[in-house]
Structure 1
Amino acid sequence: MDRESARNWFTHTSDLVTEHIDEPEGRVRLFYLSTMADAKVVYSELIPKLREICLEESEIAVIAQHLGVSSSNRVFDDGEAIERLLSGHIVIQVEESSYGLAFPSDGTVGRNIQAPEIETVVLGPQIAFVEELNVNICIIRKYMSTPRLFHERLSVGKTIPMNVSMLYLSGTADEENVNTVRQRINDLELDTSLDSTILAQHIADNEKSLFPTLQQTERPDRAIHGLRQGQIAILVEGSPFALLGPTTLLQFFQSPDDYYLRWSLATFNRLMRTFAMILSLILTPIYVAALTYHYEMVPADLLLSLAQSRSRVPFPPLWEALLMELIIELLREAGARLPTKVGQTIGIVGGIVIGQAIVQAGFTSNILIIIVALGALSSFIAPSYMIGSTIRVVRFPMIFLAGVLGALGIVVGFSFLASHLLRQTSLGRPYMYPIYPVRFSDWKDGFIRAPLSSLSERLKFFNPKRISRFDRDRAKEKKDIDE
């Protein structure tokens, strides 16, 4: 690549820098983007070495030998040179040479590794993924020091290509799952900025479904646990979230913290999350259905309190409930978009002030505020942000059906929901596993979390090549030091 071709490619780019090393001959040229390459490496290390080398010899092979540049960093055409420049490399070109050299130098600014912000950690490593793809792969390799961890680099997009990495544990991950992910990524034709959340929508089995079929996590320990189970991890350059697949609905209610706790506490937490999600779906619809069509379901003492509470409310229970749910969602969205400290204040103070004002104005009853608040809190218990948002959206049609058809509407809503979930797949695998198809042997790490010594086999859902993780009998042996 000469100076003219470089300027043609970067016509409107002012950060392209060209340096002539062997003045006045000018046979050895150096190209780099000042916004991508590290200036200290260029002017403190590379240029002084090049000038010293060029005093004796200016052949490209000699320069590569003295700089310690491997053959993999050779550049043979303009397209490859442009790609290296955009990734932060320094391209060295010698006139009349058949190839050039790409010297690594990354001067881009990245975020330091911090604790997870969305998936908070109670117990376990206080570390989260960042926007640097190589750093994220390094984090995973640090905790999985095995040559069986395979890493494939893929490229998505033709106009603006983005780097995507696929990781899986060879000998454990199913080849069919690996081929499915590889094919879906290679078949993509995108011309937009890519993030793992966008990629998940494109390669999902059913992108029109409200329910996510690929796990998104910022926690390396969750990704590593998935890799050990036989899942496939997908990392995208510029995204601090990894994708895991295939996955089941139950896994969205599980947290890596479950494995750091005693099995009894972990089981209680999982059952509580499942109960909270069901409660979030049916609590407000039951209120609407009972007050609209089924007064006989409410005990007499409670019915009297409900009548007194709603005596000033001019709206029917359906519109009253929809109004309160909408206000809760507005407060939640406002709190998420505002700065952290202000958002917390708006969420707490706004909820109290608006709730009290609405009751005093007669727009709603005290009991409905309690019910809506319980439903909202229940949806926030989900460890996954995506599944929590899905539950909050599904709640609205459930409330509408309850207001129109009563208890029959709730039954119809759950029937449609169950039918939809049973038809969903994740990379071709059943989404409702182990509920459907029924596999009681995998329930020990589903609704509950059995003792670790009992989890000697991987979930059959992933179709792993190696079912056994360790010897169960030996894991249960307790030996004293003198035995």
Structure 2
Amino acid sequence: MFKKKIKRTNFISKYDTQEKTIDEVFEKAKKSSDFSSLSPIESNNRLQISFYKTLINIDLFHQSLLPSLMEKIESINKLDDIKRFIPIEGIKISSDGKEVEKSLHEGYVVIQLSEYKQDCVLISLENSRFGKRETNETENEFSVIGPKTGFIEDLSTNLHLLRSELVTSDLIFEEFVVGTRSQTKVVVSYLDGITNPEYVKTVRQRISNLDIDVLFDNTQLEQMISDHTTTPFPLYITTERVDRAVYALIQGHVALISDKSCYVVTGPSNLMDFFSSPEDYYLPWIVASFFKLIRIIGMLFSVFSTPFYVAILTFHFEVVPKDLLGPIVYSRANVPFPPAIEVLFLELTIEFLREAGARLPTKIGQTLGIVGGIVIGQATVEAALTSNILLIIVALSALSSFTTPIYKMSNAVRILRYPFILLAALYGGFGIYIGIILLITHLMRLKSLGNPYMIPLFPYRKGGIINSFSRPPFLFLKKRPSFLRPLTQKMYEPTINRDPEEGLNSE
């Protein structure tokens, strides 16, 4: 009979293992702007009420708990009296700092009497449905597998979603006000003890230096605090998915959440981050790695397919195989335009269809995209304005640009095609070579919160290369990326070492 050989190792952070007093718990919690500690005037400072505003049902607090306390304030002499007077279930008394901290993060209100400072009354006011609505499903970053919860245009709801996922006092929220006329609340979020303080300091400084009338959306804030403003490439990840924002935080990133915006901005980011999808971590690593390579290949195909077509048909006919030369000559026999004009015509047509489909109502836009693409494509080929081979290449190029999970990177890929097409029309393959050198030089100069944009490719980091082009097994994801310089390197410890014959039982 085969026996299971399982070695279990529990990894718990130093902060979670040490004993905590009530005062230490409150001192840590006060670093977050969503933590509130108040003393009603009627209590003459005898009563101290503490809670996270983003985790409790604030209506229940004002309509039920607070009036009941004020009505019986003179009769409260000990903590047990609160349990008798408050018409709410789930009330308990504790002096354990760790239990108090856990209860705070579960949506409890903590009440203290000045005579019993080391004992607390814990009253559950959790708002379990807060932010959990059908309307907060992700729209632009949809995945088949994994959670569908997304951020909405409400700061309290978004902070609640993050606080519910990361149940730790290490999650810090720092609130700023941006906009002299809009007074928009912006929250800088990070994990204390993990995120490098230099990143937090840089974000604080850049937000504090902003001078703007109205902040409409978080994507504006991203551009205003960007290291470089003259680049088509996004320097920060913009996401509407809660799981993606949480993963960025535990990696050691800084997250920016602003009121009236359903997008969270995380950084520092590098180029390869934009080709990773949250769904990669919900699929087997072999499948996820294949899909990630498909995205990278799709990006390269989208940028270089039409420029190579122009360069080959304008300057380098000799590289075309003999079997393919006949169909190309036949398809272009009646086309009056040079390859560059032919390509630009089709590329701009695709852009017109894409923009029209995005601006029209959903049902009309979908119909226009399908019918317009078929009709215009067929008509241009029959009118000899373009070749059918180029039509196929441009269609595949447009499809390839959509494989990028982040919409802003998809836009950058679309724009890159045009300078490469012009260089290919002027100088052929040599022009494409010049364009690649200029592109790589530009990417190497970019930074995100002071971090090189091309890392771990340049500067080269051996440990990050595998993560850039594939999704390794979880066994190799136990450490945070070293190039983020996190204060805590270890992310988790694998709990079991599997025997190859584990699970096989024979008598």
Q: Is the 8 A contact 1:249 1:431 kept in 2?
A: yes
Give the residue type in structure 1 aligned to 2:298. A
Q: Is the 8 A contact 1:151 1:165 kept in 2?
A: yes
Instruction: Note the C-alpha offset of 1:157.
Output: 2.1
Q: Deviations over 1:60-113 (max 9, x none)?
A: xxxxxxxxxxxxxxxxxxxxxxxxxxxxxxxxxxxxxxxxxxxxxxxxx99864
Instruction: Report whether the alignment pairs 1:326 with 2:348.
Output: yes
Give the structure 2 partner of residue 159 of structure 1: 181
Q: Deviations over 1:210-261 (max 9, x none)?
A: 1000110000000000000000110010000000000000000000000000
Give the residue type in structure 2 aligned to 1:226. A
Q: Hey, what's the Cα distance between the residues in 1 that align with 2:172 and 2:504?
A: 39
Q: Hey, what's the Cα distance between the residues in 2 that align with 1:376 and 1:113?
A: 30
SS of 1:446 mapped into structure 2: helix
Q: Hey, what's the Cα distance between the residues in 1 that align with 2:326 and 2:183?
A: 65
SS of 1:398 mapped into structure 2: helix
Instruction: Report whether the alignment pairs 1:250 with 2:277.
Output: no
Q: 352, 377, 380: which is aligned to 1:355? A: 377
Give the residue type in structure 2 aligned to 1:386. K
Q: Hey, what's the Cα distance between the residues in 2 that align with 1:203 and 1:160?
A: 18
- Relative to structure 1, is the Cα distance of residues 430 and 45 closer, same or farther in structure 2, using a 3 angstrom cutoff? closer
Alignment of 1:72-471 (within 5 A): 113-471=135-493
SS of 1:368 mapped into structure 2: helix
Q: Is the 8 A contact 1:111 1:131 kept in 2?
A: no
Give the residue type in structure 1 aligned to 2:338. P
SS of 2:175 mapped into structure 1: strand
Give the structure 2 partner of residue 57 of structure 1: none
In structure 1, the gaps of 5 or more residues are 1-40, 54-108
Q: Is the 8 A contact 2:252 2:484 kept in 1?
A: yes
Give the structure 1 partner of residue 497 of structure 2: 476
Give the residue type in structure 2 aligned to 1:465. L
Give the residue type in structure 2 aligned to 1:323. F
Q: Hey, what's the Cα distance between the residues in 1 that align with 2:199 and 2:473?
A: 29
Q: Is the 8 A contact 2:215 2:221 kept in 1?
A: no
Give the residue type in structure 2 aligned to 1:315. F
Q: Hey, what's the Cα distance between the residues in 2 that align with 1:241 and 1:160?
A: 18
Instruction: Note the C-alpha offset of 1:183.
Output: 0.7
Q: Deviations over 1:450-471 (max 9, x none)?
A: 1011111101121100111123
- Relative to structure 1, is the Cα distance of residues 481 and 292 closer, same or farther in structure 2, using a 3 angstrom cutoff? closer
Give the residue type in structure 1 aligned to 2:278. P
SS of 2:469 mapped into structure 1: coil
Q: Is the 8 A contact 1:113 1:127 kept in 2?
A: no
Give the residue type in structure 2 aligned to 1:180. T
Instruction: Note the C-alpha offset of 1:45.
Output: 6.8
Instruction: Note the C-alpha offset of 1:314.
Output: 0.7
SS of 1:383 mapped into structure 2: coil
With 214-223 and 456-465 compared, the bigger mean Cα shift is at 456-465
With 424-433 and 150-159 compared, the bigger mean Cα shift is at 150-159
| Higher RCO by CA contacts (8 Å cutoff, separation 6 or greater) | 2
Instruction: Note the C-alpha offset of 1:119.
Output: 0.4
Instruction: Note the C-alpha offset of 1:477.
Output: 4.3
Q: What's the RMSD between the two structures over aligned residues?
A: 2.2
Number of aligned residue pairs: give it: 380
TM-score for both structures, normalised by structure 2: 0.72
Q: Deviations over 1:8-35 (max 9, x none)?
A: xxxxxxxxxxxxxxxxxxxxxxxxxxxx
Q: Hey, what's the Cα distance between the residues in 1 that align with 2:436 and 2:379?
A: 34
TM-score for both structures, normalised by structure 1: 0.76
SS of 2:136 mapped into structure 1: coil
- Relative to structure 1, is the Cα distance of residues 455 and 45 closer, same or farther in structure 2, using a 3 angstrom cutoff? closer
